Copies of this chain bind each other. A is one copy, B any other.
Amino acid sequence: MRRFLPPLNSLKAFEAAARHLSVTTAAEELCVTQGAVSKQIRQLESRLGVGLFERRANGILLTAAGQQYLPFVTAALDSLDSATEQLQRGTRRRERLLLSVTPSFTSSWLISRIHDFEQQYPHLQVDLISGDGKPDFAGTEVDMAIRCLLPERAGQYHRVLVNERLLLVASPDVLEMKSMLQPLDLLQHRLLTQVTRPGMWDEFLQQLGLEATHATYGAGFEHFFMSIKAAEEGLGLGLIPDFLAQESISKGRLVNPLGLSVMSGFAYYLFCPGYKAELLKVIQFRDWLAQELLSAPL
């Protein structure tokens, strides 16, 4: 168990600088001068024999080596921090896992399963907040985010969760009133729209060979979970991601009258900042999620 560890304080400096991509703000976080941090980093680099940063006039960038190293250093320091805090409090407070998830995914999928995660990892306290735009972890404590967005930002960990398949759904009551036996009947109904997905129905109708211009649109909603409610209430036909509609369908509140669906081209992704990709709690949630998605085919 003889170890060859670099000077640990210089790791602290490296980690802070790498997280902020700035020596100066790292120095602020550590309550020392900028020069001190700079020297610590140099020392670490020469000790390791590996360059960790690329120095630019307007800041620093992580080298490939630095990017490889950072998540592990962050994970180690983080776990020391939380172990130390627990020790001092004497009480074993549960560690927090803070997730930012779209409202639809939360209410239609996550909430009913999160209990299972909590049972499996009782030492974690899961906190859910809803979020929608591009995931931005800077200045927040959010550990991971789930979004229906393509990954853009470099240096973020991401992983596809599900490719979105939209199902045509309607309340059974609605179908009793106006029958729906062939795609053409669609045009007899109000179509519930998503304000964030203007072309959604157009694409769908086009695939069926229908003229989008003949369609009648009903209310528009920001989130799918609202459209689900609306469809259940008989306000019109919805076009809803399969895994979100699943519950309502299995409970008979919605049906997919013609068995029609379409791949929307969107997908749900899991994001987290690169430097958190190796945190134990993050790994655990990630694995659990993967398993749930595998074991609960749609």
Q: Which A residues are closer than 8 A to B by beta carbons? A: 1-6, 8-9, 11-12, 16, 19, 29, 48-50, 65, 68-69, 72-73, 75-88, 90, 141, 280, 283
Contact = CB atoms under 8 A, between A and B. Distances in A.
8 closest cross-chain pairs (CB), A and B: A8-B8, A72-B83, A76-B76, A3-B81, A76-B80, A76-B79, A69-B87, A50-B87
Contacts of A5: 12, 77, 80-81, 84
B8 A12 contact: yes
A87 B75 contact: no
18 contacts: A1-B29, A4-B84, A5-B12, A5-B81, A6-B84, A11-B80, A65-B87, A65-B90, A69-B84, A72-B80, A72-B83, A73-B80, A73-B83, A75-B79, A76-B79, A76-B80, A280-B280, A280-B283
Contacts of A4: 81, 84-85
Nearest to A68: B87
Contacts of A72: 79-80, 82-83
Contacts of A86: 68
Given A4-B81, A280-B280, 11 more contacts: A4-B85, A5-B12, A5-B77, A8-B8, A8-B9, A9-B9, A50-B87, A65-B87, A72-B83, A73-B80, A75-B79
Nearest to A88: B48
A178 B76 CA distance: 64
Contacts of A68: 86-87
Nearest to A50: B87
A176 B205 CA distance: 72
A68 B93 CA distance: 13
A159 to B, nearest CB: 16
The interface centre, meaning the residue of A5, A78, A82 with most chain B CB atoms within 10 A of its CB, is A5
Contacts of A80: 5, 8, 11, 72-73, 76
A65 to B, nearest CB: 6
Contacts of A88: 48-50
A158 to B, nearest CB: 19
Contacts of A77: 3, 5, 76
Nearest to A6: B84
The interface centre, meaning the residue of A6, A48, A87, A88 with most chain B CB atoms within 10 A of its CB, is A87
